[in-house]
Amino acid sequence: MKRLNVDRARGLRASQTDAEQLLWYHLRNRRLQGWRFRRQHEVGPYIADFVCSDAGLIVELDGGQHGDQVIYDERRTLELQLMGYKVLRFWNNEVLKNLDGVLEVILEALASPAPHHPKGGNAPTLSP
C-alpha cells in the first residue's frame, strides 16, 4: 500500500493543474514567510495537495471533478482534522483569479496553527 501511494503521489506531482503549479511556485522553497510546504504529500491514507507539517496545515485545491464528490471530500476533511490538521480548500479558479487573497488566507491559517497537531505552532526558522 505504501508503494502504491508513493507512485500515486509522483504521478500527481507530474500532472499538476495550472492552479497547483501557480500556488506551488509561491509555497515552495520556504517562499511564504519561511514556512516549509510539501506537495502531493502522504497524510495517513490520503495524499494532500500541499502540507505544512510545522503548522499542521493542509491546503487542498479543487477542480470541477470535486463538485461530484462533495460527500467524499467532507469525510476526508473531517478525518484529516481528526488527525490534528487544519484543512483549507480553494477552487482552482480562486487561485488563478485571486492568488493574493488565497495566500492571505493561508498566512492567516499559519498564524493560528491547528491546536491539536503535535507540531502546531512551530514558527519557521531560517538558517543562514
Count of domains observed in the chain: 1
Residue 94 burial by CB count (10 A; 0-12/13-18/19+): exposed, middle or buried? middle
Q: Give a yes or no: residue 43 inside a domain.
A: yes
> Cα–Cα distance between 126 and 35 in angstroms, integer?
9
Per-residue tens of pLDDT for the chain, all 128 residues: 566 665 654 555 556 999 999 999 999 999 999 999 999 999 999 999 999 999 999 999 998 765 568 899 999 999 999 999 999 999 999 999 999 999 999 999 999 877 777 665 555 544 43
The residue assigned the cell 479558479 is 93
Q: Check which CATH number belongs to the domain holding 7 and give it.
A: 3.40.960.10
Angle between helices 99-111 and 18-27 (to 10 degrees): 50
The pLDDT of residue 116 = 72
- Which is it for strands 46-52 and 86-91: parallel, antiparallel or unpaired? unpaired
Q: Give a yes or no: residue 119 inside a domain.
A: no
The pLDDT of residue 69 = 83
Rg (CA), the chain: 14
Domain boundaries, position 85: 2-111
128 three-state secondary structure: coil
The pLDDT of residue 102 = 98
Q: Give a yes or no: residue 123 inside a domain.
A: no
Q: Give a yes or no: residue 126 inside a domain.
A: no
Which candidate, 39, 86, 94, places its Cα nearest to that of 66? Answer: 94
